[in-house]
Amino acid sequence: MAILAAVGKYFLCRHCYRLKYWSQLETPIDRGNRKVSKLKERLNRKGLHQKTRDRLRQKLDEAIARDNELLAMKLGRLLMRHR
């Protein structure tokens, strides 16, 4: 089953219109931010087993560290352009 889109004059599938999903338009920083948000949501749930909570905290710390690295690299590139 195909979902049709009315982007132009005709109803066509997303392939024919060459449409992309939102996730395909995300930058690595956007993906990282979305991952951090999802992990925070999961950690806020009640009734999590302690092992699960610890594992999610570890993943969250790693995701935040990756985000910080990406932001630092982006900032470095921006600063190099303006010199």
Compute the CA torsion angle 24, 26, 60, 44 (nearest 10 deg).
Answer: -90
pLDDT digits (tens, 9 = 90+) for 11-57: 888 888 888 888 899 999 999 999 999 999 999 999 999 999 999 99
Token code pair at residue 36: 């951090």
For the chain, domain boundaries: 4-81
Using DSSP, state whether 83 is helix, strand or coil. Answer: coil
User: What global pTM score does this model have?
Assistant: 0.72
Using DSSP, state whether 48 is helix, strand or coil. Answer: coil
